[in-house]
Structure 1
Amino acid sequence: MRLGTVKFYNSDEGFGEITPSNGGREVNFFAHGVTGMIKSNNIVQFDIEFTQKGAEAVKIMVLSA
């Protein structure tokens, strides 16, 4: 599992972006990959899954609000 901070989350579109704590590229995520409520600036734990469109964060769990 990786750690990161939610850069933004658009609940209407079910789409957002996470900035990894260790640096590196920001990772997109979609509502189907989220466990619980999520919003911008949450610290999260997540896995990365590689899709045809590139890397996507999945199994996202909010650690702090």
Structure 2
Amino acid sequence: MNNGIVKFFNDQKGFGFIKDDKSGQEYFVHVSGLVDEIRESDEVSFDLQEGRKGLNAVNVQLV
């Protein structure tokens, strides 16, 4: 599991980005990869999974 902060999330469109605490990289997150509802600036834990355009955050849950 990785930890990070929700940098951006659009409820209407169902996607956003999470910034990893350790690497500083940003990962795409889709509403289908959420365990909990998230908002911008929430601290979350997540797994990474290969998607169409690179790694995506999945199993995203609040810390």
Aligned to 1:45: 45
1:12-58 Cα distance to aligned partner (Å, 9 max, x none) = 00001000000242000000101121100000000000122111000
**5+ unaligned residues in a row in structure 1: which ranges?**
none
TM-score (structure 2 length as normaliser): 0.93
Q: How many residues align structurally?
A: 63
* Distance in structure 1 (CA, Å) of the matches to 2:30 and 2:52: 15
**5+ unaligned residues in a row in structure 2: which ranges?**
none
User: Quick one: percent identity of the two aligned structures?
Assistant: 33
Give structure 1 regions of 4+ aligned residues with deviation exceeding 4 angstroms. none
TM-score (structure 1 length as normaliser): 0.91
